[in-house]
C-alpha cells in the first residue's frame, strides 16, 4: 500500500469545498482536524506561518495542487486531508518561488509524524497528480469511496 493509502480516511475527504479564502480554508479545516484529535492547538498558526515561509502550491501539467504541512510537533496522528475545490479562488504561492500565484484544484493537507516519510509522500503525490488518467479520475469521482480507491486506501 502507498503512503497516501495509509494516511487517508473517509472523514478527511471533501469533494465539494466551496471556501474561497485561504485563511477561512485553514480555520475551517483545522477545526475538523482538532475535532478528530489529529492535531495540536498550535497547528493552525504553524501551518499558516510555514506556508508563508515555504509555499506549497504546485502547477503541474494537468492540474494545480497545494500540499500545506508543518513540523511534526504539531501533529498528534498522521493524516492526509483531501479537498477538491469547487472554484479556483484560493491563492497559494508556487513552491520554490516568492510571488508566482497558483490557484489549486485540490488541497491536500498533510500531517506527518515521521520526517523521513515526508519526501517520499510528496514524491508520491506529485507522481500521481502528474498522471493525466489519475487527474481525470479524481476530477470525475462522485464519492469518497471512489477517491479512496484511486489513492489505494485499504
Query: What CATH code is carried by the domain that includes residue 96?
Result: 3.40.930.10
pLDDT per residue over 54-79, tens digit each? 999 999 999 999 999 999 999 999 99
Which pLDDT band, with edges at 50, 70 and 90, does 3 fall under?
A: confident
Name the domain count of the chain: 1
Is the entire prediction scored with pTM above 0.85? Answer: yes
Task: Classify each residue of 62-74 as buried b or exposed e, where b means 16 or more C-beta atoms within 10 Å of its C-beta.
Answer: ebbbbbbbbeeeb
Would 39 be classed as within a structural domain? yes
In a domain, residue 154? The reply is no
Average the pLDDT over 11-20 and give the result: 97
* Whole-number pLDDT of residue 20: 95
Q: How is 47-104 classified by DSSP, letter by letter?
A: HHHHHHHS--EEE-SS-EEE-----GGGBSS-EEEEEEESSS---EEBTT-SS-EE--
In-domain check, residue 148: no
Q: How far, in Å, CA of 89 to CA of 104, rounded?
A: 8
Q: Is residue 33 part of a domain?
A: yes
Full residue range of the structural domain in which residue 80 is found: 3-133
| 150 in a structural domain | no
Can you give the pLDDT at residue 152? 84
Going by the DSSP 8-state scheme, the letter that residue 94 receives in this structure is B
Amino acid at each position: 500500500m502507498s503512503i497516501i493509502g495509509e494516511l487517508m480516511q473517509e472523514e478527511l475527504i471533501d469533494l465539494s469545498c466551496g471556501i474561497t479564502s485561504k485563511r477561512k480554508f485553514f480555520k475551517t479545516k483545522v477545526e475538523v482536524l482538532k475535532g478528530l484529535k489529529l492535531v495540536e492547538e498550535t497547528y493552525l498558526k504553524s501551518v499558516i506561518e510555514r506556508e508563508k515561509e515555504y509555499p506549497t502550491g504546485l502547477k503541474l501539467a494537468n492540474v494545480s495542487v497545494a500540499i500545506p504541512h508543518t513540523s511534526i510537533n504539531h501533529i498528534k496522528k498522521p493524516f492526509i486531508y483531501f479537498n477538491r475545490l469547487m472554484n479556483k479562488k484560493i491563492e497559494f504561492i508556487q513552491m520554490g518561488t516568492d510571488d508566482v500565484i497558483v490557484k489549486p484544484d485540490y488541497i491536500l493537507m498533510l500531517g506527518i509524524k515521521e520526517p523521513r516519510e515526508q519526501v517520499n509522500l510528496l514524491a508520491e503525490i506529485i507522481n500521481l497528480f502528474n498522471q493525466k488518467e489519475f487527474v481525470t479520475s479524481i476530477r470525475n469521482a462522485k464519492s469518497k469511496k471512489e477517491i479512496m480507491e484511486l489513492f489505494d486506501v485499504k
